[in-house]
Structure 1
Amino acid sequence: MSKANSIDIQPRDFVNGDVLIPGSKSYTNRAIAIAALAEGQTVIEHALVSEDTEFIAKGMESFGNVHIDIDAEKERMLVNRKPAAPIAPKQPIFFGNAGTPIRFAITMASLANGVSELTGNERMQHRPCQDLIDALVQLGVKAHVIRGTGCPPIQVEGPSLRGGKAKIRGSVSSQYTSSILISAPYAERDVELEITDDLTSKPYVDMTVGIMKDFGVEVERDGYRRFKVRAGQRYRSGTYRVEPDASNMSYFLAAAAITRGRVCIPGINTSSLQGDVKFIDLLEQMGCCVEKETDYIAVSGKQMRGIDADMNRMPDIVPTLAVMAAFAEGRTHIYNIGNLRIKECDRIAAVENELRKMGIDTESTEDTLTVYGGKPTGAVIDTYDDHRIAMAFAIAGLKTPGVVINNPSCTAKSFPTFWEILNGLS
C-alpha cells in the first residue's frame, strides 16, 4: 500500500494475466464474528487482513474471552475463545468507519455482562443503525442510540438477548439482519425475524446463512421474508477457508474490459454466494467475453456497450460499473442503489463528481445513476476516504493518461495490496 498523498496511474496498452485476489472481506468479517462465539480454536485461512477485519478482530477481543492472532503474510487468523463469559469493556469500542463490524458487534454486545459502548469516526456517526436497535429491543435487548440520531455511538447492556419474534426493515441495510442471525443461537429462546419490506443486498444474507451452516448452525427461512434460528445451537470451531473477494475481483476484470486485455481470477467460480460474482454477467451484457470454469473466472475485453443494471444485489460494484460505462458506447442506467448514499461516502454523488471531472456526462436521482459513454480525459480524482472510489477510478487510469488518485491509502480498508497488484499488471 502506498503512503503517498497521491498516485499517478500509468496507462497500459492492454492488461493480461492471472491475478490472485485476497480473501473476501465479507466472509472474513463473518468468520471472525462466528469464531468469537465458537468455543476453542478456529483457524481462518486465506483471511483478508485489512483495516475492517482488524477492527472486528479487536472488537471481539475487547469482550475479554477471545484472543486473535493475525498473520498477514500467511493470510491466517487464529481465533481462540475461552469458556468464560464475555464482559463489556470499560472503554468504548472504536470501529472507525467499518460498518459491518460495528453492526455485527452491536448484537454480540447483548451477550456480554455489563454495558458496552460502540462508536466510530465522524462518518460512522452519520451511518444509520436505528432499525437494528429497534429490532433488538423487540428481542429483549437493552440498547439505545446515545445521541438520539439513529447512528453511533450505541450503548448496549447485557446479557439481554432474550429471543422471541421481531420485525425489522431490510431496505436500508442487510447487515442488520445478518447481525441478529449471527448471535441468535446464543439467545435464551428461539429468534424469529420478519422482514417488513424488500430486503436490500440479499446475497449478503445468503452468505451469512451459508457460513452459519458451515460452522454448524441451521437457519430456517421463508425466502427473504422470515428467518428463524433455534436457541441452544452452538458454532463448532475448526478450520475455515475464505474464498477470493468478488468485490475486489471486479477491479481487475474491469481492467481487462477497459483495456481489451484478458484477466483470469483463480480460486472462484459462479457457484459463490457472493453477490458480486454476478458482475461477470454485466460484463457479458456489455460485450465482453467471459469464461466461467470450476476453478477460475476470466474476462476478455471487447468494445463495450451501455446497459441498464439493477444493482440492489451488488451495490459495492456500482463505482466499478460506472467507470466502465464511461468507456462504453451509449448510455448506462444504474438503478435501485439508494443505499449507496449512506456508505463510506455518498457514492452516487462521489462517482458523479469524479466522472464529470473526466469529461463524462452523468445524471442522478436519489437512487439512480446514468452514465453517458464517451472518451474520458485525465483528472485528479478525489476519493472521499472511500476505498471503492479510489480503486474504481484507478482502473480508468489504465486506459486514460493523466489520472491521479488522491489519498490512495484509503484502500487499506478492504484491499491493502491493491496498489502492489495493480502495479504488477502487465
Structure 2
Amino acid sequence: MKWLVTKSRLQGAVDIPASKSHTIRALLIATLARGESVILKPLFSKDGVSALHASKCLGAEISEQGETLIVQGTGGAITPKVPMIDMGNSGTSTRLFTLAAALSTTPVCFDGDASLRSRPMGPLLQALQDLGGSYECTEKDGHLPYSVHGSLRGTDITVDGTTSQYLSALLMTTPLIPGNTVISVPQLNEKPYVEMTLWWLDKMEISYEVNSGFNKFLVYGDQQYRPIEEKISGDFSSATFAAVGAAVTGGSVTLHNLDFSDPQGDKGVFDILRRMGATVTIEGKSVTVSAQQLHGTTIDLNAMPDAIAALAVLGTVAEGETRIENVAQARIKETDRIAVMADELRKMGADIEELDDGLIIRKSTLHGAAVSGHEDHRVVMALALAGMIASGETEIDTAEAADVTYPSFYDDFTVLGGHLQKI
C-alpha cells in the first residue's frame, strides 16, 4: 500500500495507543507466571500480535475479552505447542521470548520476515549458551531462523549492550532458573528500556541487584512470577510522531493517555522539543505541543533511538543545524535508520549528512517526491510528517508497515488535519 501526502497543519487531540514495549513485557511475564493474569488495553498491533502468538505457542492459555487479555500462565514450565514460532517483524518479542523458550528441554524454532532475519541475535544466543542452553542457526550464524532449548542454570556471563533487548531478555528469564546469575554489560545502550524491565521486576517483587554504573547485575535464581493485573499505558515512541507533527506543521495537538511517571525513555522527546523552541504543556496524562519557530540543537539520542526518524524531519524545519549523535544502534533496527532517513529525506531536498552514529540536518525546503518506507513503521510515519511540510505530493510505499506499532496512525492523523490518501 502507498500513501499520498500533501501539505498539512495538524490541529486537535489524539489518544496515543498502548506501549509496545510494555505490552510485550506484560505478555512475557504473564506467560511465565503461575496463575491468571489480566492485561488491560494492550497494543493490538502487528508487534503485539507477534508477542501474543509467541505466548500461546509457549503454552499460555489466552482469551481475548474486548480490550482485555486473560492469560493462564505456565509457571515457568514451558511446553511448546508448535515446532516453529513465526515472529513476523518483532525484534523485541523475538529476543525476549527466545530466552524464555530455552526454559524448555524441547527445541523451539523461531523465524520471522526478511527484516527480522537480518537483525543480529548472536549475542543473545551466546548468552543463552553460556547459561547452559543450546541453539542451532539453520541458515546464518547469529540470525534467524534458529532453534533453542535448555537446561539453563545461573552463572557469570557477559552480554553485548549494543541493544538493550539482550539484557532485558536475560533479566526477565534468569529469575526462574536454578542458581544466581551475574550479568556484565559493557557499554549499555538504551538504558531507559532496561529501567522499564526493572520496573516490571520490581512490580513482581523479583530480587536483583544492580550497580550504579548499570553495567553489572545480580539476579537471584529459583524465583517465581506472580500473576499481574495491569493497564498498559500510552506509548511515548508512538507519541513522538504527533508531537513532532504538531511542531513541524505549526499546529497544536493535545496527546492523551500518556503517563509521565512511566519509565519509558522516549518521553525525553518532549524535553528536546522544548529545547528547540516548542511550547509543551503537561496536564495530568495529557500534553499539548505547538510551535511557531524552532532552532537547531545537538541531541544525544542513545537512550531513545526510536525517535531518530521523526527528529530527522524536525531538523529540516529548525533554524541552523540539528546534530543527532551517539545512536549508532539505530543502524540495526528494522532498517539502518540513519542511512535510510538520510537517503529518503535527500530525495525531498533535505540538506542532511550521515554520521557513523547519527545525522546532521540543516534547515531545508522540502518538496514532494516518491520515497520508500523500507517496510519500517517508524520510517513510514516520519516520511508522512515530511510530506506534510513539503510542497507538492509525497508518495510513500510500504505504508502498511505503520501497523506494526501504530495501527490507527492513518485515521488519527487524518482527523488531526493530515492530508493523507491511500493509493
TM range (shorter): over 0.9
- Candidates 39, 42, 47, aligned match of 1:47: 42
Q: Are the aligned partners of 2:75 and 2:225 in contact in 1 as well (CA < 8 Å)?
A: no
Superposed displacement of residue 361, structure 1: 1.4
Q: Are the aligned partners of 2:75 and 2:224 in contact in 1 as well (CA < 8 Å)?
A: no
In structure 1, C-alpha distance between the alignment counterparts of 2:144 and 2:197, rounded to whole Å: 23
In structure 1, C-alpha distance between the alignment counterparts of 2:262 and 2:203, rounded to whole Å: 14
In structure 2, C-alpha distance between the alignment counterparts of 1:255 and 1:290, rounded to whole Å: 13
Q: Is it true that 1:30 corresponds to 2:20 in the alignment?
A: no
- Candidates 157, 160, 169, aligned match of 2:160: 169
Superposed displacement of residue 41, structure 1: 1.5
Match of 1:309 in 2: 299
Superposed displacement of residue 326, structure 1: 1.0
Which has the higher mean CA deviation after the structures are superposed, 120-129 or 144-153?
144-153
Q: Is it true that 1:320 corresponds to 2:316 in the alignment?
A: no
Q: Is it true that 1:291 corresponds to 2:281 in the alignment?
A: yes
Match of 2:5 in 1: 9
Match of 1:212 in 2: 201
Q: Is it true that 1:70 corresponds to 2:61 in the alignment?
A: no
Superposed displacement of residue 82, structure 1: 4.7
Go from structure 1 to structure 2 and tell me whether the alpha carbon gap of 1:335 and 1:83 turns closer, same or farther (over 3 Å shift).
Answer: closer
Classify the secondary structure of the residue corresponding to 1:228: strand
In structure 2, C-alpha distance between the alignment counterparts of 1:264 and 1:218, rounded to whole Å: 39
In structure 1, C-alpha distance between the alignment counterparts of 2:217 and 2:413, rounded to whole Å: 41
- Candidates 119, 122, 135, aligned match of 1:130: 122
Classify the secondary structure of the residue corresponding to 1:371: strand
Structure 2: runs of 5+ lacking an equivalent: 418-423
- CA offsets, 1:56-78, max 9 Å, x none? 11112112x3122335xx43222
Q: Are the aligned partners of 1:187 and 1:231 in contact in 2 as well (CA < 8 Å)?
A: yes
Superposed displacement of residue 233, structure 1: 2.2
1:9-408 residue pairs with structure 2 within 5 A?
9-12=5-8, 14-63=9-58, 65-70=59-64, 74-82=66-74, 85-158=77-150, 160-170=151-161, 172-195=162-185, 197-223=186-212, 224-400=214-390, 401-408=392-399
Q: Are the aligned partners of 1:130 and 1:145 in contact in 2 as well (CA < 8 Å)?
A: no
Which has the higher mean CA deviation after the structures are superposed, 14-23 or 177-186?
14-23
Amino acid in the other structure paired with 1:202: K
Amino acid in the other structure paired with 2:114: E
Superposed displacement of residue 381, structure 1: 2.1
Q: Are the aligned partners of 1:307 and 1:332 in contact in 2 as well (CA < 8 Å)?
A: yes
In structure 1, C-alpha distance between the alignment counterparts of 2:49 and 2:70, rounded to whole Å: 13
Amino acid in the other structure paired with 1:59: A
Superposed displacement of residue 287, structure 1: 0.7
Classify the secondary structure of the residue corresponding to 2:389: coil
Classify the secondary structure of the residue corresponding to 1:36: helix
Q: Are the aligned partners of 2:233 and 2:259 in contact in 1 as well (CA < 8 Å)?
A: no
In structure 2, C-alpha distance between the alignment counterparts of 1:239 and 1:397, rounded to whole Å: 41
In structure 2, C-alpha distance between the alignment counterparts of 1:314 and 1:8, rounded to whole Å: 29
TM-score (norm 1): 0.93
Superposed displacement of residue 89, structure 1: 4.5
In structure 1, C-alpha distance between the alignment counterparts of 2:237 and 2:204, rounded to whole Å: 24
Superposed displacement of residue 365, structure 1: 2.5
Which has the higher mean CA deviation after the structures are superposed, 36-45 or 246-255?
36-45
In structure 2, C-alpha distance between the alignment counterparts of 1:90 and 1:254, rounded to whole Å: 42
In structure 2, C-alpha distance between the alignment counterparts of 1:262 and 1:256, rounded to whole Å: 5
Superposed displacement of residue 396, structure 1: 2.1
In structure 2, C-alpha distance between the alignment counterparts of 1:270 and 1:89, rounded to whole Å: 39
In structure 1, C-alpha distance between the alignment counterparts of 2:210 and 2:286, rounded to whole Å: 31
Amino acid in the other structure paired with 1:44: I
Identity of aligned residues (%): 33
Q: Are the aligned partners of 2:269 and 2:307 in contact in 1 as well (CA < 8 Å)?
A: yes
Q: Are the aligned partners of 2:260 and 2:285 in contact in 1 as well (CA < 8 Å)?
A: no
- CA offsets, 1:131-164, max 9 Å, x none? 1122222222222433452212222122x11112
In structure 1, C-alpha distance between the alignment counterparts of 2:334 and 2:155, rounded to whole Å: 33
In structure 2, C-alpha distance between the alignment counterparts of 1:169 and 1:83, rounded to whole Å: 29
Superposed displacement of residue 174, structure 1: 0.5
- CA offsets, 1:387-420, max 9 Å, x none? 0011111122223241222121111111111111
| Matched pairs, number | 415
Amino acid in the other structure paired with 2:5: I
Structure 1: runs of 5+ lacking an equivalent: none
Aligned-residue CA RMSD (Å)? 1.7
